């Protein structure tokens, strides 16, 4: 009887990680959002690295954002158009969860492990309709003077 119960539960247990992972289609790719702040919690693991970003009290778009040079990726991304459309979020949460890329892609870009306290910025997408928790899927990661494209590997 216990064996049958375990076998019946396996499909459910196997699906749990998939529920926690969000594909690109869950995010509104027509509304790029810009966030900057300090990493306060970092999880450097698969299925993707993620961090909690604490925003300043008065977030602002950098004046030079639309002029920034972006790296080429193996997946075609119109980075210039995303920079031109970038906005601050309409919600006023000070702490955001940011989904980065899988570790293999972070390594391909030579991104060193981000530590709590690191100042950074991201351009990415919120869930469609900005429903639920404040989560951003990062398209570009800005660390110091470096920019990383996170949708695919470097071209």
Q: Is residue 6, in this structure, part of any structural domain at all?
A: no
- pTM for this entry: 0.83
Containing structural domain, residue 96: 22-149
Q: Is residue 132, in this structure, part of any structural domain at all?
A: yes
pLDDT at 131: 65
Q: Is residue 13, in this structure, part of any structural domain at all?
A: no
Q: List pLDDT tens digits, range 6-50.
A: 445 444 444 444 344 455 556 678 899 999 999 999 999 999 999
Helices and strands (DSSP H and E) totals, the chain: 3, 6
| CATH code (residue 28) | 2.40.50.140
Output the DSSP codes for 18-50. Answer: HHH---GGGB-TTS-EEEEEEEEEEE--SS--E
78: phi then psi, degrees, rounded to nearest 5: -85, 80
Q: Is residue 15, in this structure, part of any structural domain at all?
A: no
Q: Is residue 111, in this structure, part of any structural domain at all?
A: yes
Q: Is residue 11, in this structure, part of any structural domain at all?
A: no
Q: List pLDDT tens digits, range 85-141.
A: 999 999 899 999 999 999 999 999 999 999 999 999 999 999 766 567 899 999 999
Q: Is residue 9, in this structure, part of any structural domain at all?
A: no
Q: Is the pLDDT of residue 151 over 70?
A: yes
**How buried is 52 (Cβ within 10 angstroms: 0-12 exposed, 13-18 middle, 19+ buried)?**
middle
Domain count, the chain: 1
Q: Is residue 60, in this structure, part of any structural domain at all?
A: yes
């Amino acid at each position: 009887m216990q064996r049958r119960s375990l076998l019946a539960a396996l499909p459910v247990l196997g699906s749990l990680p998939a529920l926690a992972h969000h594909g690109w289609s869950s995010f509104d790719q027509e509304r790029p959002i810009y966030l900057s702040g300090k990493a306060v919690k970092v999880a450097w693991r698969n299925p993707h690295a993620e961090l909690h970003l604490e925003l300043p009290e008065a977030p602002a778009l950098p004046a030079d954002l639309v002029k920034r040079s972006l790296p080429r990726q193996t997946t075609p991304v119109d980075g210039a158009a995303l920079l031109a459309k970038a906005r601050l979020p309409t919600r006023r949460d000070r702490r955001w969860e940011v989904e980065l890329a899988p570790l293999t892609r972070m390594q391909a870009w030579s991104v060193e492990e981000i530590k709590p306290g690191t100042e950074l910025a991201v351009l990415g997408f919120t869930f469609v309709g900005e429903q639920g928790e404040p989560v951003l899927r990062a398209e570009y990661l800005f660390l110091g003077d470096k920019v990383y494209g996170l949708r695919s590997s470097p071209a």
